[in-house]
Amino acid sequence: MPGGDMAKPLLGRRNMESNPDLTPAAGRTVGILGSGDFARSLATRLVYSGFQVVVGSRNPKRCAGLFPSAAEVTAQADAAKKTDVIFVAVFREHYSTLCDLTDVLAGKILVDVSNNTEINHHKESNAEYLASLFPACTVVKGFNVISAWTLQSGPRDGNKQVLICCDNQEAKRIVAEIAQVMGFTPVDMGSLSSACEIENIPLRLLPAWKIPVFLALGLFLCFYTYNFIRQVLHPYIREQKNRFYKIPVEVVNSTLPCVAYVMLSLVYLPGVLAASFQLHYGTKYRRFPDWLDQWLQHRKQIGLLSFFCAALHAVYSLCLPMRRSHRYQLINAAIKQSTLGFIALVVSTLHTLTFGWTRAFDENQYKFYLPPSYTLTLLVPCTVILAKIFFHLPCIHQRLRRIRNGWEKGRYVKFTLPSATGEYSSGESSSNV
């Protein structure tokens, strides 16, 4: 198992020497209970980071060959006796089988590395459960967000952060130091009650992308249905024309730019709403409603998904001989940068307006009284652009700028005026004066 990468210590000797704080931890003996995938990767990484490693297994003879020769593989009780810091690389279901070791583990630090298979699977976290089984030990939760693979390939190839929590500061410090020597970045997550949160992290798949992805899918579904009615259903019902061949390609290709365009405007809409909120309440210190807060935090992902849809549309249009694809092309590559992204929104809107102006008044373009999809997509971008223009009116812009600099409507602050004699007198004034 140890690959070329594993043979290299993550912190070179020079690094360790230059940081004297790290050397005491590096020489420490660290124990591991369990001989599975995680235990093997952890043992190897610990050995190459300069630790003495002792592995406790139910069957040491069988698994000794799987560990680096520098690691000692022995019986569980024996390993527990030899060290004060022990990683429990065993599944929660098997914790109770370790109870025979209660006496020998008393007073030691147990590092719970376990994960669950479901979010909030148990009432109490695995770490708290372990602590309840071994009340004489100090349990530290940590390393569960690091996979065996990351331990093998080194932190530069995956998540570098090791989230740690424990009720005992000293135990937390020791484990954080071990993580640091191994090349990881320890993150203090507070007391052991945070263990549940830490255990749920690996089960949450790209949490920041969930809402934007659902938003994109929802928009796609709406526009696809809309375009399907106009491009396929309407000709079939009214003119008995079979246009079902358009379903997989043309309808998709006319849907993608609609989604991209609306998503791009949704990047700017929360900013507009936030500005309106601040203007309305005359302060920047009032919390935004949760939904707006969430929306503001997801703007980057929404923008990137908009770019993805636009890029997909470009690929579709380039690869397939589509007569009408050019209509929907968006200048979207610039959305990474806020101002350029907004320019892209304005240019796309101008493009859509010039392209569709005459058609918007053509009766034939209305299928089942439904306007062309580009007309529909204009709604949100136009609202955003008009709102932005409104916020740039000098009187509004100035008020907004003052609010963002800390001024508050109707709030008076006390300050002291120097008097003619050099003494200070107390006065009241609005903070914007």
Radius of gyration of the chain (CA): 31
Nearest to 112 by CA among 49, 37, 185, 34: 34
Of 63 and 322, nearer to ligand NAP (C-beta) is 63
Provide the minimum distance between the beta carbon of 405 and ligand NAP in the complex, in angstroms, as a whole number.
47
Q: What are phi and psi of 429, to 5 degrees?
A: -160, 155
What residues make contact with ligand NAP under the rule CB under 6 A?
34-39, 57-59, 63, 89-91, 94, 97, 113-115, 144, 147-148
Provide the minimum distance between the beta carbon of 76 and ligand NAP in the complex, in angstroms, as a whole number.
7
CA angle 122, 128, 132 (to 5 degrees): 110
CB 79 within 8 A of CB 54: yes
Of 93 and 363, nearer to ligand NAP (C-beta) is 93
CA distance 383 to 294: 21
Largest CA distance in the chain: 95
Of 76 and 255, nearer to ligand NAP (C-beta) is 76
Element (H, E) at 414: strand 412-418
Of 104 and 346, nearer to ligand NAP (C-beta) is 104
**Chain centroid, CA 195 distance in Å:** 19
Amino acid at the residue 108? K
Provide the minimum distance between the beta carbon of 65 and ligand NAP in the complex, in angstroms, as a whole number.
13
The residue whose Cβ lies closest to ligand NAP is: 36
Of 52 and 159, nearer to ligand NAP (C-beta) is 159
Provide the minimum distance between the beta carbon of 7 and ligand NAP in the complex, in angstroms, as a whole number.
20
Q: Which residues lie below 8 Å from residue 381, measured CB to CB, with a gap of 6+?
A: 261, 262, 264, 265, 345, 348, 349
CA distance 373 to 377: 6
Residue whose token pair is 């491009």 = 231
Q: Which residues lie below 8 Å from residue 176, measured CB to CB, with a gap of 6+?
A: 162, 164, 186, 188
Q: Which residues lie below 8 Å from residue 60, measured CB to CB, with a gap of 6+?
A: 35, 73, 74, 75
CA distance 152 to 157: 9
Provide the minimum distance between the beta carbon of 180 and ligand NAP in the complex, in angstroms, as a whole number.
19
Provide the minimum distance between the beta carbon of 329 and ligand NAP in the complex, in angstroms, as a whole number.
45
Provide the minimum distance between the beta carbon of 79 and ligand NAP in the complex, in angstroms, as a whole number.
10
CB 111 within 8 A of CB 142: yes
Provide the minimum distance between the beta carbon of 137 and ligand NAP in the complex, in angstroms, as a whole number.
17
DSSP per position, 234-256:
HHHHHH----GGGTTTHHHHHHH
Of 42 and 335, nearer to ligand NAP (C-beta) is 42
CA distance 42 to 269: 47
Provide the minimum distance between the beta carbon of 117 and ligand NAP in the complex, in angstroms, as a whole number.
9
Provide the minimum distance between the beta carbon of 210 and ligand NAP in the complex, in angstroms, as a whole number.
22
CA distance 102 to 294: 46
Of 184 and 295, nearer to ligand NAP (C-beta) is 184
